[in-house]
Structure 1
Amino acid sequence: MLRFFEQTNYIDVVRDHISENMNVRGYQTLLAKAAGCHNSHLSHVLSGRAHLNLEQAVAICEFWKLDELHTDYFLGLVNIARAGTEKLRGNFERHLDKIRSDSLRSVSYQEKDSAVVTLPSDKSVLYMSSWYPSAIHAAIEFEHLRTVTALSNRFHLPEDHVQEVLTMLADFGIAEENGGQWTSKSKIAIGGDTKPVTKIYHQAIRQKANLCLDTRGDHDYFTTNLISLPRAMLPEMKLKMQNAVRSVLADASEKSGEELIYLCVDFFVP
C-alpha cells in the first residue's frame, strides 16, 4: 500500500481507508453518511463511475480527522480527477508537488527515532535502483537473516555487496549493527517527486522477476496475458485487480512473516 503522499488517485486513498477498516461493521456506509451522499453513490465512486465533489471530499477528510496538509493533498487529488483540461490538471499537479515537498518537513530524514524515515530524492533513487536494498532491509526483520553471511546465502549475493547495502541502510538511519547482528530501525517513505523513483523500482523488480523465470520455485507464479474488454468494463476490472491485491496484503499483514515475496501486478492499456 502506498503512503499517503505517494498516492496519485484519490479513489485509491478511499479504498485503502475502507480496506484498513474492514473490521469496522458498515464502514463504507459510515463513510458515505459522513460525506453526505448515498452509499450507492460512494460505490459508483469506488468503481470509477462517478466522482466526489469538493464538499463531499472535505467532509470525508473531517471524518478521517486529517490535518491541513493531508486534507490539501486529498482535495488536490480530487481536483485532478475532476479537471476538464490538461492545463487545469497540470496546475493542480504542480500544487500537489509543492505539498509533497512540504510533507518532507513533517517527517524529516534526520528523525532517526521515527517509525518511518522519509528519504530525500537522491537516497530514494539509491534505495529503489535495484531489488536487493529493499529485500535486505526487509530480511533483517527475520532473526535468522541478520548477519552478512546469512543474507549472502539467502539472496545469492557476494558478502561484500551485502555489506555495502547494509552500510548504506545504516547511513540512511534505517538499520543498525550490533555485534555482527543487523536490525531494522524504521521503514521508509519516498521523498520528493515519487513518479520517477517509482518507475525505477518498478523496472528493477521486474528485472529480478525475469531472472527468476529461469529458476522458478514451487511457490512462484508468473503470467502475462493480452486480453480485449469493452471499454466500459475497464474500471470494474481494475477494481477487481486492486481488491485482489488488497486481500493478499491484508492476509499477509495478519500473519508472522517467514518468507519474502515480491508481488508485482500490472494492468494497463497499451
Structure 2
Amino acid sequence: MEKSVFEYSHYRSYLRMRLESAGRRGSKAQIATEMGVQATYVSQVLQENAHLSLEQAEAANVFLNHTSQESHFFLLLVQKDRAGTKSLRDYFQTQLDEILKTRMVLTERLGKSTQLDEKDRSWYYSSWIPSAIHIATTIPTLRTVGDLAKAMQLSSEKVMETLERLENIGLVRKEGLQFLPGEQQIRIGKDSHYILKHHTNWRLQAMQSLEHENLKELHYSAVVSLSAKDVDKIKDLLLESLKANVEIIKDSKEEELYCLTMDFFSLLKAQK
C-alpha cells in the first residue's frame, strides 16, 4: 500500500516515492510539464541538489491529485525544507505537527464509531451526489477524480470536494490517486427524518433518467384499481422481489452503478 504525504517528514522523499514507483514511467517528464520546468530539474530536486519553488509545489499538488489538506501539508513540507534557519524550520514543523495531531484525533474518532454523527448524515443526504460517489468507489474503474467526473458528468472540483468530505468522515480512503470505500457505514431507517430527502433525491434522478433511457433500464408507471386483499398481496410480492434483489446485489461483482427504487402507493388521500 502506498504511503500518504502525511507519513513523510521531507517533501523530496515523498516525491521520489510518488514518481519513481514501479509502473510510473514518464512521471518525471509529466510533472515537469505541469510545473513548467525541464525533466532534468525534477531529477535535481529528487537528488536533493535543488528545491521546488512554492509555485512549482502548487503545480505539483495538481499533478499528484492532492486533496486540499494534502496540498496544504505538502506546501508546508516544502517551506520547512527550504527554510534557512532552525527557528523557521521549527515554525513550519509546528504547523505540520498540528495537522498530524488533528488527523490522529479524527482517526481515533472514526475507529471508535460505526455510525456518522448528525452533521455528517445531514450532509450525506443533502443531495444524491455524496451517496452516488461513495458507492461508485466500490467499482475499480471509478476510483479516480477524473473517472468519476466523466462518468457522472460532474466537475472535477465537485467530485474532489465530495471525496474529501467522504474521506474525512471515513466513508472512503485515499491510496495514491485512487479513492477506495472505507469501513465506516451509514444506514437510514424509515423513522429517520432524512428518509424523505433520501427518497426525493433519487426520485428526481429517476425522472431525469427518463430523458436518456436505454435497454438496460426499466421505468414503469400505471394507475390501477384493485381489491383491498390484492393490495396486500402485491405489496408482499414487491417486498419478496426486493429481498431477492438485495441478496443478488450483496454477492454481485462491482462493475455498474445503478439506482433501485420501488413505488406502490394509494392515490386516495382521504384513506391516509
Structure 1 gap segments, 5+ residues each: 1-108
Matched, 1:248 2:245: yes
How does 1:21-100 map onto structure 2 within 5 Å?
Answer: none
- Pick from 162, 171, 174: which aligns with 2:171? 174
Post-superposition offset of 1:122: 2.7
1:159-215 alpha-carbon deviations (Å, 9 max, x no partner): 000011101101212212122211111252247994320110100001111111111
Supply the distance in 2 between the matched residues of 1:259 and 1:192 (Cα, whole angstroms): 25
Size of the alignment, in residue pairs? Answer: 161
Please tell me whether residue 156 in structure 1 is matched to residue 153 in structure 2.
yes
What is the 5 A alignment of 1:1-270? 112-113=110-111, 117-190=114-187, 194-270=191-267
- Normalised to the residue count of structure 1, the TM-score between the two structures is 0.55
Displacement after TM superposition at 1:262 (Å)? 0.6
- 1:41-83 Cα offsets, whole Å, 9 max, x none, are xxxxxxxxxxxxxxxxxxxxxxxxxxxxxxxxxxxxxxxxxxx
The Cα of 1:129 is off from its aligned counterpart by: 2.0
* Contact 1:121-1:191 within 8 A present in 2 as well: no
Q: Secondary structure at the match of 2:185?
A: strand
SS at match of 2:194: helix
- The alpha-carbon distance between structure 1 residues 218 and 187, as it changes in their structure 2 partners (threshold 3 A), is farther
* Percent of paired sites with the same residue: 24
Structure number, greater radius of gyration: 2
Q: Which has the higher contact order (CA 8 A, sep 6+)?
A: 1
Q: Cα offset for 1:133?
A: 1.0
Provide the TM-score with structure 2 as the length reference. 0.54
SS in 1 for 2:114: strand
Quickly say closer, same or farther: Cα 1:174–1:211, change in 2 above 3 A.
same
Question: In 2, distance between residues paired with 1:223 and 1:192?
Answer: 26
Q: 5+ residue gaps in structure 2?
A: 1-106, 268-272
1:197-252, CA deviations, whole angstroms, 9 ceiling, x for partnerless residues?
Answer: 01101000011111111111221111111111111222221110111111122122
